[in-house]
Structure 1
Amino acid sequence: MPKKWLYVIDEAIKRIENDEVELGLTALQKVQEHGADLPDVMMYLAEVWYRLGHLDVAGKLLSEVLENNPQLDPSLRRECQLLLAEIALDSSDFETAQHLLYECKESGYDSIQLDLLLADLYALQDLDEVAVKYLEQARQKEPDNQDILAALGNLYFRIGEDEVAMQLLEQAGSESLELLLTKGRSLAQNGQFEQAYQVFRQALVLDRSPEVLYGATLMAFHVGRLEEAVELVTTLQAIDEEYVASYPLAADIYLSLGKTEQAIDALKQYVTLSGFDLDQIRRLIALLTQAGRYDEAKEYQQLHDQWDHETEEE
């Protein structure tokens, strides 16, 4: 690739990174206009457009490179096809992605990148067992690649092979957040709530995101640590007040503590955020009725009947 084009593209990227976006994009467009006859320059430029999120521009550029250069070097052609496939996957165009990837595969090309893209193709279509096959091929090429081990572990977990999944995730990194969350979920699904609680507490040391806080809250509730569960769910809602699933859980916790008013408030907030969960509305109506708040109960009953009618029509 001519150094001057590489320099111009790299300088344009620097401009964009320094918030001189318009200037940087203009420079990239100039390269596209004046370097159109240089396939390696256009491929590099397409990758830059792709990384910047301009998928349509990148895809069009790569298609033109393939169309205008029938004698393109085989390695460059494969590189072009693989990036086009990646763009197609990001756009959920699975048919195009499959065509491009199998064209590479049938040409005899074999690489980790191809294996990973094929795994993505099938995983995105919920064909996890096929995706596992390609990730296993990638693992054979790089047995100690932690990213591959982690991805493979998650896929095995999705297809119900928890023991294999755990072993792979442990190989990927015993202290990783991903491993702890997977362990916690697996233990919880098997009814081992105390062990799951301990695992989620470990996860909280690494990360206090809403997802981790929710898991820790749920496990604290299941093992009867109700005051701790209140503290955790309050923290979660302070971080993300629109984390919808936290409100029915908060209601469960408050009811277990005999705090009906707080449970009602939690469910009212849930209905405001989520709308159409009729079971939770019925639960709220029952609590309001028990508390003697008949006018409010009537309002939510009307809301329930309206949404129930709309659901039946659909």
Structure 2
Amino acid sequence: MPKKWLYVIDEAIKRIENDEVELGLTALQKVQEHGKDLPEVMMYLAEVWYRLGHLDDAVSLLTDVMEKNPQMEPSLRRECQLLLAEIALDSSDFETAQHILYECKESGFESIQLDLLLADLYALQDLDEVAVKYLEQARQKEPDNQDIMAALGNLYFRIGEDDKAMEMLEMAGAESLDLLLTKGRSLAQNGQFEQAYQVFRQALVLDQSPEVLFGSAMMAFHVGRLDEAVELVKNLQAIDEEYVAAYPLSADIYLSMGKTKEAIDSLKQYVSLSGFDLDQIRRLIALLTQSGRYDEAKEYQQLHDQWNEESEEE
């Protein structure tokens, strides 16, 4: 690719990243206008449009390049096709993606990217066993690729092959956050809460994200470490007060500690954030009634009835 075109495109991207969006987009459009006879430049530009979220522009450009350059180098044509398939997958246009990918496959083309896109095609349609087949093919080409092993591990969990899943995830890296979270969830699903608690505590060392804090708080609750569970939930809410799943958990913890007032406060916050969750409203009404707060219970009963009627109408 001529260096001047690469330079102009990269400079345009920098402009966009520095909030000079209009200037950057104008520069990209100029490249498209003046470099239209250079397939490599247009291919690179199409990828840029795609990464910026301009999917229609990327598809239009790729289609145009392929139509106007029937003698294009096979490797460049394959790049165009694979990018078109990737865009189709992002748009949930599975039929188009499958058509493109199978055209590549039937022509004898082999690559890890093709295997990974085929795996995505089937995984997105919940055809996990077929997706595993293509990921295994990709792994044969790059046996030490940790990303492929991690993806395989997650798919093996989805099809119920937990032993294979754990083997893949451990091979992907024992200290991987994804591995720890997946392992913790698997142990929790099997009722092994103490082991899951220990795994989530390991994850907390690597990451203090809401997801990790929530899992750690949930496991601390299940193993009876209530004070710790409360602190973890508070830390989570301090980071993300709209993480709605934290509020019912908080209510569970406070009720186990005999703190009904705090449980009620948690459920009130949950209802105000989550919208139409009738089960949690009923739970809140019951706690308010038990606490003798009848006026508040009546208000939430009216809200419950209103939302219940609306959901039935839908």
TM-score tier by shorter-chain length is over 0.9
Q: Superposed, which structure 2 residues align to 1:12-23 within 5 Å?
A: 12-23=12-23
Q: Paired residue for 1:154? A: 154
CA distance in 1, matches of 2:206, 2:5: 44
How far does residue 312 in structure 1 lie from its aligned partner after superposition? 2.1
SS in 1 for 2:37: coil
Cα deviation digits, residues 147-177 of structure 1 (max 9, x gap): 0000110111111111111110000000011
Determine whether 1:120 maps to 2:117: no
Match of 1:25 in 2: 25
Aligned to 1:285: 285
Which sits farther off after the overlay, 180-189 or 50-59? Answer: 50-59
**Mapping 1:97-246, distance limit 5 Å:** 97-246=97-246
Match of 2:301 in 1: 301
One-letter code aligned to 2:294 = Y
The aligned amino acid for 2:108 is: G
Deviations 1:168-221 (A, max 9, x none): 000000001101101111111111100100110110110111111111111001
Provide Cα deviations, 1:55-91, integer angstroms capped at 9, x if missing partner: 2111110010112222222211111100111111111
**1:199-246 superposed Cα distances (whole Å, 9 cap, x missing partner):** 101101101111111111110010100111111111111111111111
Deviation digits for residues 126-158 of structure 1 (CA, Å, limit 9, x no counterpart) = 111111110000000001100000011011111
1:76-87 alignment to 2 at 5 Å?
76-87=76-87
Structure 2 counterpart of 1:38, which letter? L
**5+ residue gaps in structure 1?**
none
Residue 85 of structure 1: SS of its match in structure 2? helix
Aligned length: 314
User: How big is the shift at 1:275?
Assistant: 1.8
1:56 maps to 2:56? yes
Cα gap change, 1:311 to 1:17, in 2 (>3 Å) = closer
Rounded to whole Å, the distance in 2 between the matches of 1:248 and 1:13 is 44
Q: How far did 1:14 drift?
A: 3.4
Q: Report the residue type matching 2:278 in the other structure.
A: L
Please report how far the alpha carbon of residue 9 of structure 1 lies from its aligned counterpart in structure 2 after TM superposition: 2.1
1:40 maps to 2:48: no
Query: SS of the counterpart of 1:287?
Result: helix
2:11 aligned counterpart, secondary structure: helix
Deviation at residue 20 of structure 1 after TM alignment: 3.5
Deviation, 1:22, is: 2.8
Cα distance in 2 between the residues matched to 1:188 and 1:194: 9
1:254 aligned partner: 254
Structure-1 separation of matches of 2:159 and 2:285: 39
| Matches of 1:265 and 1:13, distance apart in 2 | 48
Question: Secondary structure of 1:241's match?
Answer: coil
Q: Which moved more, 1:174-183 or 1:273-282?
A: 273-282
Partners in 2 of 1:119 and 1:61 — Cα distance?
26
TM-score by length of 2: 0.97
Partners in 1 of 2:72 and 2:247 — Cα distance?
Answer: 58
1:277 positional shift: 1.6
Q: Counterparts of 2:74 and 2:298 in 1: how far apart (Å)?
A: 71
Amino acid at match of 2:79: E
Q: Give the structure 1 partner of residue 264 of structure 2.
A: 264
Higher mean C-alpha deviation, range 189-198 or range 86-95:
86-95
Amino acid at match of 1:217: A
Q: Which segment drifts farther, 16-25 or 109-118?
A: 16-25
Larger deviation, residues 39-48 vs 99-108: 39-48
Aligned mates of 1:267, 1:33 — CA distance in 2: 57
Aligned partner of residue 24 in structure 1, secondary structure:
helix
User: 2: distance between equivalents of 1:52 and 1:281?
Assistant: 42
2:208 is paired with a residue whose SS is: coil
RMSD in angstroms over aligned alpha carbons? Answer: 1.2
Q: Residue 18 of structure 1: CA displacement?
A: 4.0
How far 1:308 moved relative to its partner? 1.7
Q: Which amino acid letter does the alignment assign opposite residue 308 of structure 2?
A: D
AA of the residue aligned to 1:64: D
Give the whole-Å Cα distance in 2 for the aligned partners of 1:244 and 1:10. Answer: 41
Matching of residue 89 in structure 1 with residue 89 in structure 2: yes
**Greater Cα shift, 3-12 or 235-244:** 3-12
TM-score (norm 1): 0.97
2 CA distance for matches of 1:67 and 1:230?
A: 62
Could you tell me which runs of 5 or more consecutive residues in structure 2 were left unpaired when the two chains were aligned: none
Partners of 2:105 and 2:264 in 1: CA distance: 58
Deviation at residue 264 of structure 1 after TM alignment: 0.4
